[in-house]
Structure formats: structure tokens, C-alpha cells
Amino acid sequence: MQRQSLLLVLLPAVAAAAVPTTMPGLMRLKGGSSMPTWSDNPAVIKLREIAKNPYDLSAKDAISPARINMMQASACGLKLLYGTERVDEATIDALANLAKERDVFGKMKAMMDGEVINKIESYESENRKVLHTAMRDVFDKRNEAPAAKEASDLEMAELSKLKDWCNKLDKEKTFTDLVLIGIGGSDLGPRALYLALQGYKKDNRRVHFVSNVDPDDAAMVLKGIPDLSKTLVLVCSKSGGTLETLTNEQLVRDFFVKKGLDPKKHFACVTGKGSPMDNPAEYLISFYMFDYIGGRYSATSMVGGPMLAFGLGYQNYEMILKGAHDMDRNAISEKDVRKNLPLLLALLGVWNRNFLGHQTLAVLPYSQALVRFTAHLQQLDMESNGKHIDREGRFVDYATGPIIWGEPGTNGQHSFYQLIHQGTDVVPCEFVGFTNSQFGMDLDVKGTTSQQKLNSNLLAQSLAMAQGHITSNPNKCFDGNRPNCIILGKKLDPYTLGALLSLYEHKVAFQGFLWDINSFDQEGVQLGKVLANQFLDIYQKVNKGESVPATDNLSALVQQMP
């Protein structure tokens, strides 16, 4: 009844129609649909039967060389090893049937072609296309669907503008540093990609990030810039009105003015065409983003492009796009589940979430360069698939997106791996590793290199979690059957990073298609914004010296601030 009470508070206009008479997952606020619920799907019924006795990874010889060789898939320089998941061939076949029943390829095509899929039927929603793939569909064999082609044509114009800008910066050598001001998807994805490719950064170029409205964030960044006169500031806001971003922009502008510098000679922007920020009198140049690009899917649009091209070079940014584009093609063109990396990874996740009942997923990159990649995946996955209604507006009666978390190895082994191995909750894991290091600086110590030691730990953790180890000492017993998989590449270069990014973007989209939810809105962000604005109204009164009696819970909370 908690959901019913929530609806009565938030939707008083339809409260009378909102009272459920059946399971929440089977009811709808208005309208109707004959589409079967999750539980009615034949593939779901079959998978639930299999889940009663899933593959036992801890059994003797359960993880054999033959199994390891069979349970792998490759695309775009990445290899997925899933012999340490609790699946067998029958499980994969049943998962493939689930994908077919949920028409995931039809939904993926609709997305890539530019149909309006960001919507909830019969309810107010964003009603937008979802075309982040068009931002890298700038190579051969482009999608000829009208909406997709129009979007990629527009992005090609932006890329041409970006390339010319980069050439100008290289020639003039005016700027050595860039500060990116953004929040959410305008920060997490671009920052993760930039930090992941430090072995490819341009000489004498540095990029800094200001995202948190906490003034100490901007203060620490500005304090660390060696020469403000050689610093470019790139402000990113699609609407031109994001409060946190505008606040940070004004803070940084004020800092420039106090140092005797004219912000107009240092500030550029990424925004929607025609937004309040699209103003040549205030910005050196404007790069355009489009309303069909969601923030968490925007790293390969102009949201990430200018910063990445500045810090890494335009050619390296183009290789990120190429890797992402090639993985896009694998997602849409490869119909064999066992060869489609994003779909296979998505199905394994659904198996662990919906049929084995695991609530979280640890993404564990054995690459320090991916230090912020899991943070980006948290937004990508949890903001996309943390939904409690389906695309018809019905509350679901099944689990959707898991909690995503993780840190790079091997440091994490000395932190939270104890719980993964012997805790009372099973935590599925996705490991990411590379054969070669990025910088190539390594040394043979006691017969092996650092990179070999790193990868030995990765492989050891995967195997230990899966097969476990039983002894007569209960304190040293490891149950095993901790499902995990490994994503491997030769080296974390720009192409491979683009492919890895696209792999996870499509994994998330495929899971949303399987769950029949809208992975492209984020209503859960909005309620907090509304309340925050109400608190800001109270603070404005305080700043004016007006009395603010504790007549409601908002003002009472403000008064509790020391």
C-alpha cells in the first residue's frame, strides 16, 4: 500500500482512479493495455524453472578449459568471458528467447532510426527521440533513416567546426588549460573518458573539472591552475539555465574579473541552439547539443567533444567515436545473442537480477585509468533503469535496474572484496582488464611485470569468486557461485574506450527494452529539484534579513543548520 499512498499524495487529480484493486504491477492509472506482464512471458516462466537449479560453478571441474573456450564472445577489440556466470547453454537459449519475445532488436532499431521512444504511453513525458548513436554515425555505411541521417548531418557540421577550432588553438597556442563546467552527464562521462586516456593527452594541455555547486570545488580547481591567462573555460548546459552550472560559471567569471582578465576572451559554451547561452557577445564559440541527446548518453556528442579534443587531440577524439560506432553496429546488426556483446552482457545481468535475485552489480576495472568509469556507469545505469513503471504506465511486479558500484583493482581487493567472497549477499561482478598498459612503463620484478601481476589478480579473483574453496576451517571456507564475467582488451586506447563506452550504453538500453521501461527519462531527479528551489526561496528571505518562522518542515530544517 506504500505505492498507493504515494500516488494519493503526488497525483491527487487522479487519486480516485489510482487506487489499485490488484497487484501494483498489473494496474494502470488510466487507459488500458492487453500486453502481458513480465510474469506471463513464456521465456520468463522457463527461466524461473531453470533458476531453481542454476549451473553450479563450485562443482568439481565445473569451470573447465572447454567451458572457458566456449563461453566467450568478441567484437571491436573486446572479449567477453562468461564461463564464470551461473549459466549453461540451456540458460543462454532461454535468455535468447526472452530477447526475441521482448523484441529487443525492433526496439533498438526504433531508437537508432530516430523514432520517439522516450515516452510513457498516455502520460505526460518528454516525448523525444533518442539519438546518441547518430552522434558517432559519421563514418561509412551511415543510417539512412531520415531522423537519424538528419541528426548525424548536424553532428558532422559540429565536428567540422570542432576540427577547425582545434586547428586554430594548435596554431595560436593561446591556451594550455581548459576548465569544463557542467554537472551530471555533462561531467561524469566526459571526465571518465578524459581520465581514462591520460597516456594519449596532448603535450602542455591540461583539463580541469568543476561540477559540484559546493564552492570549494571551484576554489580548489582554480587554485591549481598555473596560468589563468592561458585558461579556457567551457560551460556546458543544454537549456542554458541549469542552476548549478550557471552558479559555478558566475563564480569562475568573478574569479577571472578579480584577476584582471576579461571572461569574454576565455569562455566558450556547449548548449542548445538559440538558448540564452548561445550568445557570441559572451562566448568565444558555441558548440551545439540537441534535445534528443540525454545527459548520460552525451559523452560522444559536443558535450564531451570539445574538451576531449582539446585535451587529447581531435584525432584521438575521432577514434573514440569510431570505436563507439563500431560497437553500435555490433549491437544492431549481430542477431546471434552469443556474438552480440551488449545484448549478451544485458541478458546475463537480467539473469542475475531477475532470476537469481541479486540486487547489486560491482563493476571492477583492473585499470587505474578507469578510476571514474564506474561512477559514470552508476549514472548511465541507475538513472536509466531505476524505474518502477513500464512504458504503459503500469507499476512493475518485477525487479528493474540493480545498484551499480565498484572501484579499480587491485586496491579494491584490500577494501570490499571480503564481503564479495564471504558476505551473506551475493554480488555479481563485471571485471574489465587489458593485456598491455597504456604508458608502457613497466619492470620485471621477481620474474613478472606489474601488468602481469595486475592481470593475475584479476583472473584469480574471477575464478575464486566462482569456484570457491571448502576446507575444514569454516573461517577459511568460500562458498563460490559468486557469478562474474570478464571484459578484456589488448590496450586501453581511444578506439577501445569508445567501444567499451558503447558496450555499456547498449547493455543498459537492451535491459530497458527487456524490462519494457523507459530508460531515457529521469523523473526521479525532478522532485528533489522542486524541493531544493523551495529551500532556496527560504534562504533568499534569510539573506534579506526577513524572519522565517518554523511553520513547516522546510523552514524547520533550515533553522537546524548550525
CA distance linking residue 478 with residue 456, whole number of Å: 19
Q: Where are the alpha helices (DSSP H) in 65-121?
A: 65-70, 89-101, 104-113
- Burial track 104-114 (b if 16+ CB lie within 10 A, e otherwise): bbebbebbbbb
CA distance linking residue 351 with residue 342, whole number of Å: 14
Catalytic position from the list 223, 414, 446, 544: 414
Q: How many residues are there in the chain?
A: 562
Phi, psi of 156 (to 5 degrees): -60, -35
Which residue bears the cell 523484441?
Answer: 103
Catalytic position from the list 100, 265, 476, 529: 529
Instruction: Identify the sign of the CA torsion 475, 480, 483, 487.
Output: positive
C-alpha count within 13 angstroms, C-beta hemisphere, residue 492: 28
Residue 461 in contact with residue 421, Cβ under 8 Å? Answer: no
Strand partners, 28: 394
The answer to whether 529 is a known catalytic residue is yes
Residue 24 in contact with residue 397, Cβ under 8 Å? Answer: yes
The answer to whether 392 is a known catalytic residue is no
Cell digits of residue 36: 502481458
Catalytic position from the list 155, 249, 383, 505: 383
Phi, psi of 441 (to 5 degrees): -90, 110
Instruction: Identify the sign of the CA torsion 241, 244, 248, 251.
Output: positive
Q: What is residue 396's DSSP assignment?
A: P
**Measured CA distances, 254 to 105, 211, 228, 286, 374 (Å):** 50, 17, 13, 21, 34
**Measured CA distances, 324 to 130, 250, 372 (Å):** 16, 35, 18
CA distance linking residue 489 with residue 496, whole number of Å: 7
- Catalytic residue positions? 383, 414, 529
